[in-house]
């Protein structure tokens, strides 16, 4: 199977469970606390590996207990550390997640070692990859260098534009497939609109197309070739939506690496995203291939 290279972040997640989100200046008592593996890059690498892909991961972590735990996670999931750089003087990234009674979340991130990932750290990992996937929790300069190297090597590039922020034209120009949620799409498009309309509005910026996730409404695809697709999720009881977007993205990328077409990859990603809402914590929630296929993915 073709290799999927994921470039991205690892965070140690602290989840505080609350009945509701606090108002500005308000102090609330949490009803519970948990700690999990996190970071969009790591989550997506795990999701892709569990979906059946041959995954390599490029990242920067601290030379600390959290960094050691990250490396142990990737080893357990069968993810090759294509380029994992321990930083002696900088701690591993951290994320604080507020999770309310409805399963919605608010997240604050401290980049830590994630912010030190350099172009030279990642470009050496590109040869041999069929697909290169990245997000926006690590420096864009490293992602751009990897995408340009991927283009030269004939690999496809997938950018999950999360968390929402402005993107340099050069990075979009080096992107084949853009993956966004509704908030991220509105930020990039500079306007609101229906999910299918937003996806179509972003298509001219990339080479192949846009996959837009819309929570319980599923996901939309808009391609440069005029293709328009929609995939609806299976019904699930939502416990925690933290890992849903990463489950979609990692599984979608894994399906493409497997050789599936866009429609099948979109469907498989949507099913994985829905299944991930059933369990507390990002990594514990990421479904495995057999579960995804059994649920119609």
Known catalytic residues are 246
Walk across the sheet containing 11-17 and list its strands: 32-38, 11-17, 93-99, 105-110
Q: What does 29-97 look like in DSSP terms, one character per residue?
A: --SEEEEEEE-HHHHHHHHHHHTT-EEEEEEEEESSHHHHHHHHHHHHTT-EEEEEEEESSSPPEEEEE
Strand runs labelled E in the chain: 3-7, 11-17, 32-38, 54-62, 80-87, 93-99, 105-110, 129-134, 156-160, 177-181, 209-213, 219-223, 228-231
CA-to-CA distance for 110 and 220, rounded, in angstroms? 31
CA 230 from centre of chain: 20
Contact 142, 119 (CB under 8 A): yes
CA-to-CA distance for 274 and 295, rounded, in angstroms? 10
């Amino acid at each position: 199977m073709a290799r999927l290279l994921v470039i991205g972040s690892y965070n140690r997640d602290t989840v505080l469970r609350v009945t509701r989100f606090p108002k500005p200046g308000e102090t609330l008592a949490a009803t519970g606390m948990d700690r999990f593996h996190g970071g969009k890059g790591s989550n997506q690498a795990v999701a892709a590996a569990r979906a059946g892909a041959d995954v390599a991961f490029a990242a920067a972590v601290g030379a600390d207990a959290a960094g050691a735990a990250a490396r142990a996670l990737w080893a357990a999931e069968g993810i090759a550390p294509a380029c994992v750089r321990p930083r002696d003087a900088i701690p591993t990234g951290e994320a604080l997640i507020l999770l309310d009674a409805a399963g919605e979340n608010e997240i604050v991130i401290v980049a830590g070692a994630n912010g030190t990932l350099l172009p030279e750290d990642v470009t050496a990992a590109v040869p041999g990859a069929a697909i290169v996937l990245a997000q926006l929790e690590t420096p864009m300069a490293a992602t751009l260098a990897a995408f340009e190297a991927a283009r030269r090597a004939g690999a496809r590039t997938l950018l999950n534009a999360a968390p929402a922020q402005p993107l340099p034209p050069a990075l979009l120009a080096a992107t084949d497939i853009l993956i966004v949620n509704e908030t991220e799409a509105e930020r990039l498009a500079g306007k609101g609109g229906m999910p299918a309309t937003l996806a179509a509005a972003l298509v001219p910026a990339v080479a192949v197309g846009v996959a837009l996730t819309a929570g319980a409404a599923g996901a939309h695809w808009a391609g440069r070739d005029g293709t328009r697709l929609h995939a609806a999720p299976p019904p699930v009881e939502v416990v925690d939506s933290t890992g849903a977007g990463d489950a979609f993205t990692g599984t979608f990328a894994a399906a493409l690496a497997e050789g599936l077409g866009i429609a099948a990859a979109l469907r498989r990603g949507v099913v994985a995203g829905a299944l991930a809402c059933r369990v507390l914590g990002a990594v514990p929630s990421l479904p495995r291939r057999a579960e995804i296929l059994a649920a119609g993915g």
